[in-house]
């Protein structure tokens, strides 16, 4: 079956670093996405990984290991505005049209 696991909630302190993990088991793989979703708003694109390794974009980085079915999103220099849900999604290799989403990780940044 298709399964994507993320922690439900995490808490971190302003200015710190936090790592949000995502593990997946899917019938195929054609890329992994991270989205940010503030409460009451739409998801917005953060990062895309299709090859193993680290992709860095400002304060946010995303890592992928295809052999381990594992990804993480790293947020540095946390700001209060980073309080949001972070969604991991895998493009199913059997159908490149579709994304399979995890349940999301709600991150609370405290002062």
Name the minimum Å distance from CB 111 to other proteins: 26
| Touching other proteins, residues 33-62 (CB under 8 A) | 33, 41-45, 48
Q: Exposed, middle or buried by CB within 10 Å (0-12, 13-18, 19+), for 39?
A: exposed
Say how many residues touch other proteins, by CB under 8 A. Answer: 20
Judged by beta carbon, residue 98 or residue 110, the one nearer other proteins is 98
For residue 74, give every residue at least 6 positions away whose Cβ sits within 8 Å of its Cβ, in sequence order, or none.
17, 18, 19, 20, 60, 61, 62, 63
Reduce the DSSP state of residue 41 to 3 states and report it.
coil
Among 24, 104, 107, 109, binds other proteins (CB under 8 A): 104
DSSP 52: S
Stretch that binds other proteins, among 16-24, 64-72, 75-83, 91-99 (CB under 8 A): 91-99
Chain positions contacting other proteins, by CB under 8 A: 4, 8, 31, 33, 41-45, 48, 87, 89, 91, 97-99, 101-104
């Amino acid at each position: 079956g298709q399964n994507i696991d993320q922690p439900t909630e995490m808490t971190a302190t302003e200015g710190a670093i936090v790592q949000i993990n995502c593990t997946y088991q899917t019938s195929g793989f054609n890329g992994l996405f991270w989205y940010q979703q503030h409460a009451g708003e739409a998801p917005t694109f953060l990062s895309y990984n299709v090859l193993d390794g680290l992709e860095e974009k400002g304060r946010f980085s995303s890592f992928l290991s295809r052999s381990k079915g594992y990804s993480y999103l790293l947020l540095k220099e946390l700001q209060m505005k980073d309080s949001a849900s972070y969604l991991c999604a895998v493009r199913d290799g059997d159908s490149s049209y579709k994304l399979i989403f995890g349940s999301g990780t709600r991150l609370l940044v405290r002062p």
